[in-house]
């Protein structure tokens, strides 16, 4: 009997109606380069054990870095949970996704050369403004888990992940503009880095922001047609589509921290957007940041249609919310590390593409805005009122892209946005993200994405 199985047996003898024991190891390494110089070369390694038990309405979580914990709790007050869904596909599951080229096989010198090359190329760009700073943050890591639970799960998994985040500061006169971009991130190995073509992409973005600085003009405020890129569609999908569909949030379990949701159980089957809106959460995409095939409670992962043809279809569930609503968990339970309780999380959340071409989105827009990337966004705690400030943005005049616009603001509600999308194109782009939730806060890797989408007649504001 393994150490984990022995711990599970103890928890069951103690009286747990449901228990799970997890060994969880994360290894990550990070290089930060500022203007071609290393300012940080760090690595982080954590490994340890957790135990979660459910008994008589009480959920208890324990973690210890040296050995599997044993349950000690005596009930205090009233427990919030009402039951646990004990169905689901379980058994021995083993999966590994570390790509073709492991991070260890690649010399650190090669990684440094890559970052240095990006900086050198950026420095050589002919710009109207001055590139004051370019910070490159490269990270790689491997997450390893073993989970056993009282439904018979015996899970082993290893997933590699790699990403590059960057920020730059341009200066013109006495004015600065800073931009931070999270653009590259995959599960897999070092081969993904070569697929990014990061050097070209970063140079293009710097050029584009430089163009904005030198000849961008102020947008005019008012109701307009707004086309958002896959990057902005992705953040909308995640913030106003994914989060409010987390069943634990809908039930109020996270109300003091990550907030509540605008929807409730009665919204299933209700129209909340136009027919072109299809929103999914899909952990099964190989190469994605949110990739897994079995969740941390031993439920097989699958694509979830959160919104289908504009209608609310299903929520994200774990075994506990599923029990409360007399349904089945759809495999949405994840923990960041051994010190974290598994909770309902998104994986890869995105709007599905349609059939239109980008030119068709532009075609009959008389006076509109194209938001290509963003510099700021936020959303209220019910996930209804939201705001996106454009970084790269362009006017759309009589069906064509025009001059760059300085920082148009889309501040609207989920209802208005979802009911104003009348066309989506046939592209699908993904961006990496770290999704925060829980107490203590857990950041888990996700992808967010979508096609270019057109909204009719939404209010555009300007910054003073």
Footprint (CB under 8 A) of other proteins, residues 135-154: 135
Distance of alpha carbon 136 from the chain centroid: 20
The two three-digit tokens of residue 129, written as one number: 């403004």
Stretch binding other proteins (CB under 8 A), from 157-165, 228-236, 251-259, 269-277? 251-259
The two three-digit tokens of residue 137, written as one number: 């943050």
Of residues 365-404, those binding other proteins (CB under 8 A): 375-381, 384-387, 389
Q: What is the DSSP string of 108-143?
A: HHHHHHHHHHHHHHHHTS--SSEEEEEEEEEEEEEE
Provide, rounded to whole angstroms, the least separation between the CB of residue 267 and other proteins: 17
Residue 69 sits in the site that holds other proteins (CB under 8 A) = yes
Residue 101 sits in the site that holds other proteins (CB under 8 A) = no
Provide, rounded to whole angstroms, the least separation between the CB of residue 147 and other proteins: 17
Cβ nearer to other proteins, comparing 182 with 380: 380
Give the helix/strand (H/E) hosting 422: strand 421-424
Write the CB contacts of 344 (distance below 8 Å, at least 6 apart in sequence). Answer: 246, 247, 248, 249, 316, 317, 318, 321, 332, 333
Provide, rounded to whole angstroms, the least separation between the CB of residue 115 and other proteins: 11
Provide, rounded to whole angstroms, the least separation between the CB of residue 281 and other proteins: 21
Count of chain residues binding other proteins (CB under 8 A): 80
Convert residues 298-337 into a mask of x (bound to other proteins by CB under 8 A) and - (unbound): ----------------------------------------
Among 56, 132, 364, 426, binds other proteins (CB under 8 A): 132
Cβ nearer to other proteins, comparing 96 with 378: 378
Residue 59 sits in the site that holds other proteins (CB under 8 A) = yes
Residue 58 sits in the site that holds other proteins (CB under 8 A) = yes
Stretch binding other proteins (CB under 8 A), from 131-139, 158-166, 200-208, 444-452? 131-139
Of residues 153-212, those binding other proteins (CB under 8 A): 167, 169, 175-178
Q: Which of 452, 394, 463 is nearest to 212 (CA)?
A: 394
Residue 428 sits in the site that holds other proteins (CB under 8 A) = no
Cβ nearer to other proteins, comparing 326 with 464: 464
CB atoms within 10 A of CB 47: 14
Q: Are 171 and 132 in contact (CB under 8 A)?
A: yes
Exposure string for 142-152, b = 16+ CB within 10 A, e = fewer? bbbbbbbbbbe
Provide, rounded to whole angstroms, the least separation between the CB of residue 240 and other proteins: 11
Question: Strand ranges (DSSP E) for 150-270?
Answer: 154-172, 175-187, 222-228
Of residues 262-291, those binding other proteins (CB under 8 A): none
Provide, rounded to whole angstroms, the least separation between the CB of residue 402 and other proteins: 23
Q: Which of 85, 141, 372, 29 is nearest to 234 (CA)?
A: 372
Cβ nearer to other proteins, comparing 66 with 92: 66
Cβ nearer to other proteins, comparing 45 with 96: 45
The two three-digit tokens of residue 70, written as one number: 């044993």
Convert residues 15-44 into a mask of x (bound to other proteins by CB under 8 A) and - (unbound): ----------x---x--x-x--xxxxxxxx
CA 230, 178, 401 angle in degrees (round to 5)?
40
Cβ nearer to other proteins, comparing 34 with 203: 34
Cβ nearer to other proteins, comparing 412 with 420: 412
Q: Are 214 and 172 in contact (CB under 8 A)?
A: yes
Q: Which of 317, 326, 315 is nearest to 297 (CA)?
A: 317
DSSP lists the bridge partners of residue 263 as: none
């Amino acid at each position: 009997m393994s150490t984990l199985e022995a711990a599970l047996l103890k928890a069951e003898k103690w009286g747990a109606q449901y228990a799970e024991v997890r060994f969880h190891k994360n290894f990550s390494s990070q290089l930060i380069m500022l203007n071609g110089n290393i300012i940080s070369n760090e690595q982080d390694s954590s490994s340890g054990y957790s135990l979660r038990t459910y008994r008589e309405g009480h959920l208890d979580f324990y973690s210890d870095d040296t050995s599997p914990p044993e349950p000690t709790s005596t009930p205090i007050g009233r427990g919030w949970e009402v039951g646990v869904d004990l169905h689901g596909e379980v058994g021995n599951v083993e999966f590994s996704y570390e790509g073709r080229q492991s991070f260890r096989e690649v010399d650190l010198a090669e990684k440094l050369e890559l970052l240095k090359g990006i900086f050198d190329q950026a420095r050589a760009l002919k710009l109207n403004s001055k590139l004051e700073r370019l910070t490159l943050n490269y990270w790689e890591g491997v997450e390893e888990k073993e989970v056993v639970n009282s439904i018979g799960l015996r899970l082993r998994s290893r997933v590699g992940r790699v990403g590059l985040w960057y920020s730059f500061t341009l200066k013109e006169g006495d004015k600065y503009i800073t931009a931070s971009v999270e653009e590259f991130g995959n599960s897999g190995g070092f081969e993904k880095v070569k697929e990014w073509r990061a050097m070209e992409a970063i140079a293009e973005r710097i050029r584009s922001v430089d163009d904005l600085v030198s000849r961008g003009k102020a947008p005019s405020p008012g109701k307009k047609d707004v086309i958002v890129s896959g990057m902005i569609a992705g953040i909308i999908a995640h913030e106003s589509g994914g989060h409010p569909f987390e069943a634990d949030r809908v039930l109020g379990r996270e109300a003091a921290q990550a907030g509540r949701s605008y929807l409730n159980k009665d919204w299933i089957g209700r129209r909340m957007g136009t027919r072109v809106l299809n929103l999914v959460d899909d952990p099964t995409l190989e190469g994605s940041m949110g990739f897994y095939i079995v969740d941390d409670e031993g439920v097989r992962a699958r694509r979830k249609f959160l919104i289908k043809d504009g209608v609310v279809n299903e929520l994200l569930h774990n075994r506990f919310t599923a029990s409360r609503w007399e349904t089945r968990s759809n495999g949405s339970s994840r923990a960041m590390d051994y010190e974290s309780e598994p909770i309902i999380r998104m994986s890869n959340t995105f709007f599905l593409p349609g059939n239109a071409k980008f030119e068709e989105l532009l075609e009959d827009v008389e006076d509109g805005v194209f938001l290509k990337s963003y510099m700021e966004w936020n959303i209220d705690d019910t996930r209804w009122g939201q705001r996106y400030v454009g970084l790269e943005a362009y006017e759309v005049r009589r069906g064509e892209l025009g001059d760059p616009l300085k920082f148009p603001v889309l501040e609207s509600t989920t209802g208005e946005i979802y009911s104003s999308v009348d066309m989506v194109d046939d592209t699908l782009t993904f961006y990496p993200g770290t999704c925060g939730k829980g107490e203590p806060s857990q950041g888990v890797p996700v992808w967010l994405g979508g096609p270019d989408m057109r909204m009719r007649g939404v209010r555009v504001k300007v910054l003073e």
